[in-house]
Amino acid sequence: MMWFAPGAFAALILLAGPVIVHLLARRNARRVVFPATHFVSTAEAAAVTPRRPSDVGLLLLRLAIVAIAVLAAARPLVMTPWRLARWNTRVSRAVVVDTSRSVLDRSVANRLADQETLNVFAVRRVNTPDLSDGVDRAARWLRTAQPSRREIVIASDFQLGSLDEHVMRAIPADIGVRFVRAGAQPATGVAISPLVEGWRGGIWQSTATIDGAGTRVSWARQGNATVPEWVAVMASPADTAAADRALRAAMAPGIPSGPVDRKLLVRFAGAAPLAPPAEPIRSRWIATAALADGLRGMQPGVSVAERAGVMVVDAAMSASALAAPSVVRAALLAVRPATMADTEAEIVMLPDADLARWRRDPAPLTPSALPVADESDQRWLWALALVLLAAEARIRRILRLRQGFGGQVGRGEAHADAA
């Protein structure tokens, strides 16, 4: 037995209502005309005496109606063998479709995914370029599905790095996992990097060619680099030349291209104060840059603030210090992080042995598993409560008729005796 709304049991306090009503119900005493009242002896009765509830049978019936209504509101579910067997014949399936650029033949992936959506109890299709995120979304949806056997089907080319052990272990053990390979990687992959500024005074772009023999990278010069306008360095008047050398040294290995509206100001010890002064960080991109590993590793000697949308980095050292270029370099890479290689150019696929090892069938439902179900057995309790309510109304009407007839007969007998 399961209860999907156990909080409804608090309504059992309503059982006190019928009891109070029956205790306070007025009793109409039978009036009898007695011709000689002096023959009746005087008796004193207490003002308040314990009273037995009136119409105990009707009270019990009303208590049963209230109790059954509360049980129905608690949404009970009886885990019978036939119900478990019916649930285990159903399958809820989440189909994760890889939409990344590496999947060359999208029509094949879509056709395979459409086949997996047929003849199932419930289905959800998740289109995503990131398989890890798609698997997580699919698992979250399956946790809210109706009672059934649950599984995730992944349709992808399964590029190396698209899935790993951590993603598979995050899937609940009772959810099945199957893999459908859609297409194959080309024999050769090409990845073109974003522009890199500053290396050997130029602007460069790399082209990586990946094939079965290895990886070859060629660099092409696209122009001459200049000191960028989005970065500035401040130091004491005596260290102005040293600050300029620190900036050029930091730019020499190259800086990835990026948005020019994100400006940077690096201040060394002895620099003139800012007017107005810098304030706490409010911009999201500055907060993200301040948490970069390079800057955090230099703390507490380096602090980050914001001034009119500009990231301000204060270093507690002079511009002529040996570590000055490292501070500028860390600040530059915090604003423009190094761009990773294009992972979509990978031509190696996950081996079939790994996919076979990760595959598993959906586990059957057991009474120990608590399913999320809209269905319950409350409708039978509501029906029983309605039947008892109709019986209560019938009994109440019969009692009123009897009391009415009894009162009329009693009054006739009393007048006859008096006469």
pLDDT of residue 76: 82
Q: Hey, where are the domains in the chain?
A: 2-38+50-78+377-418, 85-185+348-358, 226-338
DSSP string for residues in 16-53:
HHHHHHHHH----PPP---S-GGGSPP----SS---PP
Report how far apart, in Å, the C-alpha atoms of 406 and of each of 56, 124, 265, 381, 399 are: 20, 70, 102, 37, 10
Residue 94, classed as helix, strand or coil, is strand
pLDDT of residue 315: 92
pLDDT of residue 419: 40
Sheet holding 149-156, edge to edge: 122-128, 91-98, 149-156, 176-181
Rg, Å, the chain Cα set: 41
Question: How many other C-beta atoms can be found within 10 angstroms of the C-beta atom of residue 161?
Answer: 11
pLDDT of residue 373: 57
Q: Characterize 94-133 residue by residue with b for buried, 16 or more Cβ atoms within 10 angstroms of its Cβ, and e for exposed.
A: bbbbbbeebbeeeebbbebbeebeeebbebbbbebeebee
By the 8 A CB rule, do 395 and 58 touch? yes
By the 8 A CB rule, do 220 and 227 touch? no
pLDDT of residue 392: 86
C-alpha span between 58 and 70 (Å, rounded): 19
H or E segment at 84? helix 81-88
Q: Which residue has the tokens 């500035």?
A: 232
Instruction: Fill in the DSSP letter of residue 239.
Output: G
pLDDT tens digits, the chain, 419 residues: what are they?
Answer: 677 778 888 888 888 888 887 777 655 556 666 666 666 666 665 555 556 777 788 888 888 999 999 988 888 877 778 888 888 899 999 999 998 887 767 788 888 888 998 889 999 999 999 999 999 999 999 988 888 899 999 999 888 888 999 999 999 988 999 999 887 666 777 778 888 888 888 888 888 887 777 788 888 998 888 878 899 999 999 999 999 999 999 988 888 888 888 999 999 999 999 988 999 999 999 999 988 877 877 766 889 999 999 999 999 999 999 999 999 999 999 998 876 566 676 777 888 899 999 999 998 887 655 555 566 778 888 899 899 989 888 888 887 787 665 555 444 444 434 34
Who's near 361: CB < 8 A, 6+ residues apart?
A: 151, 176
Tokens of 153: 């089907």
pLDDT of residue 42: 66
DSSP string for residues in 258-271:
--TTS-EEEE-TTP
Q: What is the pLDDT of residues 205-225, one digit of tens each?
A: 888 887 777 788 888 998 888
Who's near 249: CB < 8 A, 6+ residues apart?
A: 325, 328, 329
Residue 400, classed as helix, strand or coil, is helix
Per CATH, which fold does 85-185+348-358 belong to?
Rossmann fold (3.40.50)
The whole-model pTM stands at: 0.57
pLDDT of residue 347: 73
End-to-end CA gap in the chain: 68
Q: CB-hemisphere CA count at 13 Å for 230?
A: 16
